[in-house]
Amino acid sequence: MIRIGLVGVGKIAHDQHIPAIAADPRFDLVAAASRSQPDLGGLPVFHDIAQMLAEGPELDAVALCTPPQARRETALAALRAGKHVFLEKPPGATVSEVAELAAVAREQGVVLFTSWHSRFATGVPQAKAWLAANPVRTLSIEWREDVRRWHPGQTWIWQAGGMGVFDPAINALSILTEIMPDEVFVTDAKLQVPENVQSPIAGHVDMTTLKGAAITADLDFLQTGPQTWDITAWSDAGELKLSMGGAKLTIDGKVVVDGENREYPGLYDRFATLVAEGRSEVDVRPLTLVADAFMVGTRESVEAFIE
């Protein structure tokens, strides 16, 4: 039994982490830390991780669901206290801080897990296998969702380090880096930034591989009506499409996989396995692509975002 504490009890914790932990017999959620002090049915809730570590029950691991800007210090406190750490995506506000966390985890002899939940969508493994056998010529990402629906009141997204539209779009990049047999590189980007915030609300990213596959990503945080989370790849063998964030896979129009959402149970299954094996899993490739898009991207100021 892994005694785990949860830090940051917002929407994603309520919707995904708490149910996934409760459903996995290898975990026991014994404490939480949140400045909002939510009622979690008798579970002890502390103000922050420092208080939870000092005054709370004994822990083996900590899952961090805080905004990325506050992640580093919280993760360092947990690692230095000898706790295994599960990082919600994105694993940090910068690429270099994740490398620092990995180094501290090695020094402390504990596990660090950079979780990418979209990689556990049901269609991803078969898509990866198909692309390994059928080299991609071109690939298109369309990731369009309504920020007001999925991230209400989450002002941290619009601040420096919050990533704006890349907060959901990094899910697509996590799938991309998982299913592509070759490394992916950013070549250009165009970012639309509302005049009253620091992060983009929409954008276009051009990428490629060492073998010259052309990859594009069109991103929008103001999509109304049906939401779009699609990745389409073309090879000499045909067309592959992952839709619904990776839950549905079609090849040449034929449905191959159409499964239920079990991404977070998959994440906790992987975390339990890593803890049992004493092995960290740290992958910053999706975050690196975001950082590169910010570095090379041109910025266009657009009208202010008002929630």
Q: Residues with catalytic annotation? A: 89
From CA 264, how far away is CA 118, in angstroms rounded? 9
List Cβ neighbours of 238 (8 Å cut-off, separation of 6 or more).
134, 251, 252
Tokens of 220: 């929008």
CA distances (Å), 227 to each of 97, 166, 220, 241, 245, in order? Answer: 33, 16, 10, 16, 10
- Pairing verdict, β 2-7 and 298-302: unpaired
From CA 40, how far away is CA 43, in angstroms rounded? 5
List Cβ neighbours of 177 (8 Å cut-off, separation of 6 or more).
184, 283, 285, 286, 289
Tokens of 300: 């266009």
List, in sequence order, every residue forming a beta bridge with 62; answer none if it has no partner.
5, 85
